[in-house]
Structure 1
Amino acid sequence: MEALNQTLFLLINASAQPNSDVVALAMLFGEYAIWLVPATLVLGWLRGNDTLRQRLIEASASALLALLAAQIIGVMWPHPRPFMIGLGHTLIVHGADSSFPSDHLTFCWAVAFSLLMHPEARRAGSVLALIGLPMAWARIYIGVHFPFDIVGAALVSGISAWLCALTGRWFAAPVVRAAMIAYRPLFAPLIRRGWVTR
């Protein structure tokens, strides 16, 4: 399996003299697209209703659970990144920690898969899930992840989203109610202007 993992990596990873436009695209998705995930959560909170906010709390819990699981997996099974074994070409400076599973994709897909489970949040979930695909390519292309790291992220994220969907009804609504105690007074001027929802 590891030989297949490395072979697939070398097929996707940047060449010794990569095209500058492709590198720029890879950097966009591999380094910066991840910020669309918290931006989606914040914008959804500010512009959505309380039902959507419950889905966002559930998605946030899914992300936290998935990232915790990813850290535990990384400690229990420290898989080296490609550059740690001298494989391929690396286009960014990255810490020499465990590669499996990808934290970027775990975070993105844990939120996306959670949102996909609810009709009122499905559009945002679809967009984030799709953004994860070029993000996955980019993380391999720039040399910091193997293809199986991406598969691992999808599995961890899917399980986390499923668990939070099962338990969300117990914690999401109380968290939203508690948050509203601070949110509505703090954002009252913006609510009155219609810039954010109540």
Structure 2
Amino acid sequence: MLDQIDYNGFELINNLSQTISFLNPFMKFLAGSAEYLFYAAVIIYWFTRTDKNRRMIFIALLSAAIGLGISVLLGDFFYRDRPFVAHNVFQLIPHAINASFPSDHATASFAIAMSIWLYRRKEGWAWLALATAISFSRVWVGVHYPLDVISGMVNGVLCALLINYIFSKWLPAKKLFELIFKIYDKIEQSIWKKKS
């Protein structure tokens, strides 16, 4: 029953690539290259060198790493073929024949976007919108089912919320957080002194 609903949702979205095909180049960009905007954000926020931004990026990267680890485990335990393996689909981008469930793109993008939202609400909404667009595009181009991206979204958001909670509320984690940043600051300052 759930599989049929998921497939019907997939078919509805994937068929849009034929009925409103002028959006295909944009969807291909979102599905294949928009993740680089998240990489750029991580670098830019980190090198603005404010304490708030660095804490945010630490939470974002740790959340994404844990979320992707969970994604690998889920993919192994609940293996699901990609839509283009199991059905005739309109596949717009090439993709390896590996586990479809859950979506790594959705997991990582939502983990980072949610982490940004927790620290910078106004900008966070834009990043969450981008994560949503990336996830939707992965169905549009034929490489994921809707349930794959929804589960990736839930995984990423929950990881970001949990990691942020642990490092902001649990005293041992807060102390570890402070220690990591003190060590990093000392290393960074020594590098800048050598360069100047």
TM-score w.r.t. structure 1 length? 0.86
Gaps of at least 5 residues in structure 1 are 193-198
Counterpart CA distance in 1 for 2:70 and 2:122 is 26
- TM-superposition CA deviations, 1:120-155 (whole Å, max 9, x none): x22332221110122122111110000011110111
Percent identity reads 23
Greater relative CO (CA pairs within 8 A, separation 6+): 1
CA RMSD of superposed structures (Å):
2.2
Checking the alignment, whether the CA contact within 8 Å between 2:30 and 2:134 is kept in structure 1 is yes
Counterpart CA distance in 1 for 2:112 and 2:39 is 9
Shift of residue 114, structure 1, vs aligned partner: 1.9
Change (3 A) 1:83 1:49: same
Specify the alignment match of 1:9 in structure 2: 10
Shift of residue 70, structure 1, vs aligned partner: 0.5
Shift of residue 116, structure 1, vs aligned partner: 1.8
Q: Following superposition of structure 1 onto structure 2, how do residues 132-147 of structure 1 map, counting pairs within 5 Å?
A: 132-147=131-146
* Alignment pair present for 1:46 and 2:47: yes
TM-score w.r.t. structure 2 length? 0.87
Code of the aligned partner of 1:183: E
Change (3 A) 1:124 1:179: farther
Checking the alignment, whether the CA contact within 8 Å between 1:63 and 1:111 is kept in structure 2 is yes
Change (3 A) 1:161 1:16: closer
Gaps of at least 5 residues in structure 2 are none
Counterpart CA distance in 1 for 2:122 and 2:178 is 21
Change (3 A) 1:53 1:105: same
Checking the alignment, whether the CA contact within 8 Å between 2:14 and 2:90 is kept in structure 1 is yes
- TM-superposition CA deviations, 1:23-73 (whole Å, max 9, x none): 111111111111111211110011141132112101111111111110110
Change (3 A) 1:52 1:15: closer
